[in-house]
């Protein structure tokens, strides 16, 4: 679906909209909202749920991710390329969750879950694939890991301990895949950061 180009509102149109009656504004709003699913999700979260359902939403999404990996991603593994498509689709769900809830902790925890619940179970298959077919997957995982470290750096240090086990598992998994290790070294990701639960300064 092509991206809709945003249109700037000049002062005249803003003034004209402000002069509309409440009934006219409601009619206009109800006409436009169905075209903005992200905004509808945000309004539901803010207005109907009072912004108090972050943890519930996070847990539900975590279960959905695990369910997809258990029933589809792992048993139906075909190639690193198809796995990458699955990871990107699940990552899109995480991005929508974060956009709706501003859940910074969840952005990190859900991404770790996505990687750690899938990759360790597919190490053998990924290693067996031709290198040219697994390179894009390796690049994605390494860049995602660097982003996670950068996001962790923005959290209060006291929260880092919540992710130590996730960091170690991801580091161990990357270390079991020579191609991904090579990509990590090239991209400046020191796997020892993960293994030793260190949160360095990351400039992306």
pLDDT, tens only, 80-132 = 999 999 999 999 999 999 999 999 999 999 999 999 999 999 999 999 998 88
Query: Helices 80-101 and 131-154, interaxial angle, to 10°?
Result: 20
Residue 47 has pLDDT above 80, yes or no: yes
**In the chain, what percentage of residues exceed pLDDT 70?**
97
- Mean pLDDT, residues 18-24 taken together: 85
Q: Could you tell me if 178 and 129 are in contact, meaning their C-beta atoms sit under 8 angstroms apart?
A: no
Q: CB neighbours (10 Å) of residue 192? A: 10
Residue 189 has pLDDT above 90, yes or no: yes
pTM exceeds 0.85, yes or no: yes
Q: Could you tell me if 146 and 187 are in contact, meaning their C-beta atoms sit under 8 angstroms apart?
A: yes
Q: 3: pLDDT confidence band, cut at 50, 70 and 90?
A: low
Tokens, residue 63: 């279960």
Q: 1: pLDDT confidence band, cut at 50, 70 and 90?
A: very low
Q: 4: pLDDT confidence band, cut at 50, 70 and 90?
A: low
DSSP secondary-structure letter at 120?
A: G
Kindly report the length of the chain. Answer: 204
Site of tokens 């139906």? 76
Residue 13 has pLDDT above 70, yes or no: yes
Q: What is the 3-state secondary structure (H, E, C) of 52-81?
A: CCHHHHHHHHHHHHHHHHHHHHCCCCCCHH
Spatial separation of the C-alpha atoms in residues 86 and 141, rounded to whole Å = 12
Spatial separation of the C-alpha atoms in residues 68 and 158, rounded to whole Å = 32
Spatial separation of the C-alpha atoms in residues 28 and 20, rounded to whole Å = 10
Residue 73, C-beta contacts closer than 8 angstroms, at least 6 positions apart:
83, 86, 118
| pLDDT the model gives residue 69 | 97
Domain ranges of the chain: 34-195
- Mean pLDDT, residues 40-52 taken together: 82
Q: 156: pLDDT confidence band, cut at 50, 70 and 90?
A: very high
């Amino acid at each position: 679906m092509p991206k809709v180009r945003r249109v700037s509102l000049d002062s005249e149109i803003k003034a004209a909209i402000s002069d509309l009656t409440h009934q006219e504004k409601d009619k206009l709003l109800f006409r436009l909202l169905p075209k903005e699913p992200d905004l509808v999700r945000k309004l539901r979260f803010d207005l109907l749920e009072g912004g108090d359902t972050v943890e519930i939403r996070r847990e539900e999404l975590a279960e959905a991710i695990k369910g997809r990996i258990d029933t589809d991603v792992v048993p139906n593994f075909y190639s690193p390329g198809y796995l990458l498509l699955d990871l990107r689709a699940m990552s899109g769900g995480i991005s929508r969750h974060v956009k709706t809830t501003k859940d910074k902790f969840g952005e990190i925890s859900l991404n770790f879950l996505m990687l750690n619940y899938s990759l360790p179970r597919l190490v053998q298959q990924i290693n067996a694939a031709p290198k040219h077919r697994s390179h894009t997957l390796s690049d994605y995982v390494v860049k995602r890991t660097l982003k996670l470290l950068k996001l962790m750096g923005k959290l209060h240090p006291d929260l880092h301990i919540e992710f130590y086990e996730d960091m170690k598992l991801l580091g161990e998994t990357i270390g079991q895949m020579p191609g991904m290790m090579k990509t990590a070294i090239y991209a400046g990701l020191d796997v020892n950061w993960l293994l030793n639960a260190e949160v360095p300064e990351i400039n992306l």
